[in-house]
Chains A and B, each alone.
Chain A
Amino acid sequence: MTVRSKSRARRTLPLHVVLIVVGAVMAVPLLYAVLSGFKSTDQLSDNPFGLPDPWVGSNYTGILGSGSFWRLVGNSTLIAVATTVLVVAVSALAAFSFARFAFRGRELLFTLFTMGLMFPFAVAALPLFLLLRSLGLLDNPLGVILPQAAFGLPMTIIILRGFFREIPGELEEAATLDGCGPFGFFWRVLLPMARPALGTVSVLAVVTSWNNFFLPLLVFTDSTWWTIPIGVQQFQGQYSADTARVFAYLVLAMVPALAFYSVAERQLVGGLTAGATKG
């Protein structure tokens, strides 16, 4: 037994060495940011590697005590939730029709949506900006929410369609016999059954919206509606000399995304792999 486990340990030693090295490269930037946030900027240049001495909490507390940071969090949350509700609701209807109806033009329409996966957002950015300007949607959260939802449609529809197709046809026949129309079946049978898939696409939509940078950069010219990614970039520009404070700000800006990831890891990874392979 011991001989075997020893040889096993020797065999897996290179594996662990590689993983520890790669893990360090991945983790060090993040840990460095956390620790640097607890230093003063002078301390940071004198003592870049060591633990903070003394620990300075004022970078973090100062940011958390200011209304502007919480405003960014609020804006990002509002925009992410609104985008998600919109894109999931609209996509669920479309995916239901794709998965459960045979109708003329279905394949054409579906191809149209899947082509959307290949449209880089940057291609549409310029005319989209002009459109939003003429609609008066600049500096309006709808100016970010609506396009985000529109660009989220292809992926969401593809994932939901795949899921809806797997629900057995017998259920639908039973519902029809019980007097359910198409919408009744969709609302009372399909959606409750599709909760895991809805969770997956919602998590994807939240993360995409939360991290979006390009669109808010175009749409929000003044700071009222800035989201976290815009706020981070602005903060670095404003306090570039105060490095420790920028690190603290970065760390606080990462916390919501990482916390969300730790809660919703399964949906996120599942959604990304399913989306990638079904697209």
Chain B
Amino acid sequence: MTSTFLPDKRTGPGVDLPPPSAAAARGRARRRVFHWLTAVGFQLPALVLFIVLVLLPILFALYAAFFRWGGFGMPSDYIGTENFTRAFDDPVFLGDLWRCLVLVVLSLALQLPFALAMAVLLNQRFRGRAVYRMLFFAPYVLSEAITGVLFSMIFAPGDGLADQILGSVGLDGIGGEWFADPSMVMATLFLVMTWKYFGFHMMLYLAGLQSIPKELTEAALIDGANAWQRFRSVTLPLLAPTLRISVFLSVIGAIQLFDLVWVVTQGGPDHHSETMAVTMFQFGFKRYQVGYASAISVVMFGISLVFALAYQRFVLRRDLEGATTTMRGGGK
């Protein structure tokens, strides 16, 4: 609402009525400075933490990306944009970009529609729906490391649960070597990601669905719209703000994917599941090519930033207000 700690409203007991003079103008100016200092003083601890541990490291990565540097002392061997041209010549890094795109497309084409379907099902009233909701969301609260280890054992070639089940119904070998198979590893990874993350998107959609007034779908029903028409013409447009945000989070998540891949495959077999963050980690922390790894960080940052700004500019802007008002009850 309105801020009451405005400079001119500070007329507590200690403040006399201002006489119309230069001294009063000075007093007002002093009060305004004091007010500003108070406001910024509250920000100070957060600002220091944020600048030192978030902004400076990112700016430093931007700087180090232009050097050949092993990570000790200060970078001194300036090589211009060589690290960047090297990245865009490196088949592994180009593969990272391609795999990121594949995961984004799979998520948007399969995972999110699936999450939406589940949300629509669970938005109906029936016994046991709270149990399903809780079960579908549960994997989201598990650590990626735990999820990764669990599924590396379930998809262990031969004696893992997945092969045992397929074997028992006579479909041996349909998954091949799963995570060890270059042609299967991304599909298997996507399965695990869907298991872990679709519940989160489903919860977002459920919150969105519950904020759609019943009167609207009822009015459509009276107008003779069938279930699909009601969904298509009433529910979906009203859910659009939520959908756009879920798409945004899904893409940002794909860009920075690391934990799950690192735990399960470390990017293997032969780079076939490597992501940008994994490549960065390999060069930065294993091979001590910190300058090159910084360049990869910067490209990741650039992609996130361009995507986020473009998305905000062209997709989110017009309904940001709607999203915040419809979801206001979400936190309670």
Contact = CB atoms under 8 A, between A and B. Distances in A.
Contacts of A112: 50, 55
A109 B55 CA distance: 13
A200 B148 CA distance: 27
B109 interface: no
Nearest to B199: A26
Contacts of B132: 19, 22-23
Contact of A93 (B42, B55, B154): B42
B204 to A, nearest CB: 6
Contacts of A229: 143-146, 259
Interface stretch (B179-187, B215-223, B277-285): B277-285
Contact of A119 (B1, B263, B301): B301
Contacts of B35: 101, 103
B174 interface: no
Nearest to A97: B42
Contacts of A167: 1
Interface of B: 1-6, 12-13, 35-36, 38-40, 42-43, 45-47, 49-50, 52-58, 60-61, 64, 71, 118, 121-122, 124, 126, 132, 134-139, 141-146, 148-154, 159, 161, 164, 168, 195, 200, 203-204, 207, 241-242, 245-246, 249, 252, 255-256, 258-259, 262-263, 276-277, 280-281, 284-285, 290, 293-294, 297-298, 300-301, 304-305, 308, 323-324, 327-328, 330-332
Contacts of A96: 42
A105 B36 CA distance: 10
A277 B50 contact: no
Contacts of A89: 45
Nearest to A216: B145
B61 A127 contact: yes
A62 interface: no
Nearest to B205: A273
A218 B262 CA distance: 13
A97 B143 contact: no
A126 B297 CA distance: 8
Contacts, number: 297
B2 A169 contact: yes
Contacts of B246: 276
A128 B293 CA distance: 13
Interface stretch (A53-61, A63-71, A246-254): A246-254
6 contacts: A93-B43, A112-B55, A128-B53, A169-B4, A257-B141, A277-B204
A93 B46 contact: yes
Contact of B58 (A16, A119, A250): A119
Given A103-B39, A113-B50, A254-B142, A122 B297 contact: yes
A253 to B, nearest CB: 6
A32 B151 CA distance: 11
Interface in A250-279: 250, 253-254, 257-258, 260-262, 265, 268-274, 276-279
A22 B136 CA distance: 9
Taking chain A's interface residues, is the majority helix, strand, or loop, or is none over half, making it mixed? helix
Contact of A122 (B40, B46, B300): B300
Nearest to A231: B145
Contacts of B5: 100-102, 172, 182
A162 B327 CA distance: 11
B308 A118 contact: yes
A48 B164 contact: yes
Contacts of B137: 269
Contacts of A233: 145, 148-149, 263
Nearest to B40: A103
Across chains A and B, which 7 residue pairs bring their CB atoms closest together, nearest first? A120-B256, A229-B145, A97-B42, A150-B53, A101-B39, A127-B57, A94-B46
Contacts of B57: 124, 126-128, 131
A78 interface: no
